Amino acid sequence: MKKRVLFSAVATTGALALIELLAWAGEWVSWSTDAQRWTDGAGLYQEDVAGRPRLRPGARLEGWRHDIQVNAHGFRGPELLEEADQDVLRIWCAGGSTTFDIYASSDAATWPSVMKEQLAQRLPDRQIDVLNAGVPSYTLKDSLNDWRERAPELLPEVLVVYHGMNDLRVAAQVGVEPSGSDAKAGSEPMSSPFQVLASYRAAQRVVGGLIDRPGWSEHRFAEDQWASIEADLHALIDLGVGAQAQVVLATQPYQVPAGARGLAARWRVRNETQLWSQDLAGVLDSISGYNALVTEVAAAEGLVLVDLAAQVPTNGRYWGDASHFTDAGSARAGAAMADGVAVALGKLTEVR
């Protein structure tokens, strides 16, 4: 009997160890590091004096599916041109992980890079510098502070604002205990000591959001939460306009359409339901509300709006998850963003 118990214990321990090894190997193969190390000095991030994450200059994560290079200025992608003279069009792309483009296979496949290539064909008389200022977990307020600190030196001529998911996450968590963690982005505090286990992180991502918690179906944004997001958006716009930059806004596309219901839809939104403490209907309503806000602000301010929510199909080939693109999705988004910048510069009449 004791031998059977011992054998069962050893077998169970071995099985759990194997599962952990496979989960860890999956993260390592994709990202050249485990997800928790994205936040330390040997990974993607460094912490600045204000306490928010920044990309570590010179960082490199080269995995089987993803190749990420951070340049000397701390932006994803190639080094900037030496000087921004009158022949250089410098574009600042503000955002979080959706601008950083975490599922893009390479720096060249990100939508800011695709946008650059499209614009180079349309503006052959100008050199183009694109600053991918997207940092996973960044909100509008983070991008505002980043622009305030760094843009005066870099002199962008265009500011592209593509935010949404992180601002909604932060607003949704006001007064609510977070029930999940965004391990890939390194943006959330560890909610459990088990978070150090790759298998635990994988299980959270797979099933954690499929089970509604008490209060999720009633949790919706209040007017002051929407007002806070709008104030941050206006503040970032004002900084761009004040620096004489053309400002382009974009809506937040999402793989799951408004009004979707059923298990397949719940599966796709499981990450947001955990992070926002909202049910499926609440998550979709929040995204629709954000897009309505951005659309209204663009119209009121006379800014170019790129409606990415209408530009990128919901077909799975365009999506790494419900809010991040695959290379195919980034190609669609980059082309639409190039149209938006061309309109802002008077080179095109409308986003096609």
Classify strands 53-55 and 45-47 as parallel, antiparallel or unpaired. Answer: antiparallel
Taking only the tens place, the pLDDT of each residue in 94-105 is 999 999 999 999
Higher pLDDT, 200 or 292: 292
- Cβ atoms < 10 Å from Cβ of 177: 8
User: What CATH superfamily classification does 2-344 receive?
Assistant: SGNH hydrolase (3.40.50.1110)
Tokens 């998550």 correspond to 283
List b or e across 291-323, with b for residues whose CB sees 16 or more CB atoms inside 10 angstroms: bebbeebbeeeebbbbbbbebbeeeeebbbbbb
Higher pLDDT, 210 or 132: 132
- Average per-residue pLDDT in the chain? 81
Single-letter amino acid code for the residue at 56: R
Structure tokens at 67: 């190749």
The predicted pLDDT at position 172 comes to 87
- CA 261/CA 244 separation, integer angstroms: 44
CA distances from 197 to 24, 135, 209, 338 (A): 8, 24, 18, 41
Taking only the tens place, the pLDDT of each residue in 7-37 is 666 666 666 566 556 555 555 544 445 444 4
Pinpoint the alpha helices (H) of 249-279: 263-268, 270-276
Residue 211 has pLDDT above 70, yes or no: no
The predicted pLDDT at position 267 comes to 84
> For 231, phi and psi rounded to 5 degrees?
-65, -40
- Cβ atoms < 10 Å from Cβ of 136: 25
Taking only the tens place, the pLDDT of each residue in 213-226 is 666 777 888 999 99
The predicted pLDDT at position 52 comes to 75
Return the CA Rg of the chain.
21
Structure tokens at 158: 């265009």
Bridge partners, 306 (sequence order)? 250
Greatest CA separation for the chain: 83
Reported as a pLDDT band with limits 50, 70 and 90, residue 250 is very high
Q: Which long-range contacts (CB under 8 A, 24 or more apart) does 70-73 make?
A: 70/44, 73/131, 73/150, 73/154
